[in-house]
Amino acid sequence: MSGFKNFLLRGNLIELAVAFIMGGAFATVVEAMVNLLMDLIGKVFNTPNFSSYNPGGVSVGAFLTALVSFVILAAVVYFFIVAPYTKAKERYFPSAPPGTPEDIKILGEIRDLLAAQQGPSGTSGTTNPGVTGGPGATNPGV
């Protein structure tokens, strides 16, 4: 039973459930907006549905209706949901100013440490006895 409880309380199960329910309800709002805009387009072309449009005997009306609905749906989602949400998010939760990535900071620290070890002239004049093969190092085995 504790495994089931951990499953229910782990992660974002509640948030996902709420998002799914709100998404379904919001889909109804978006669909109503699309229908409203389709009706307005229909007033211009004297028909709210292009399904009966058959130029040259080719049935392209259903495709045109679906295409116009899709473009309207995308426009409604972008202009009435995504754009205002992005502006509100940036206004109330501004993103952190871009800084130096952590790996670049570490590389800078390494550079500064190496420069400090080499001294002001660029070479320290001493060799590190633990390093073989460097300038001034001897390798008795060769």
Q: What is the pLDDT of residues 87-96, one digit of tens each?
A: 988 888 888 7
Confidence of residue 117 (pLDDT cuts 50, 70, 90): very high
Both tokens of residue 102?
A: 């952590």
Q: What is the mean pLDDT of residues 32-41?
A: 84
On whether the CB atoms of residues 64 and 71 are closer than 8 A, the answer is no
State pTM to two decimals: 0.48
Residue 7 CA to residue 107 CA, distance in Å, equals 42
Q: Could you tell me the sign of the dihedral formed by the alpha carbons of 110, 116, 118, 122, in that order?
A: positive
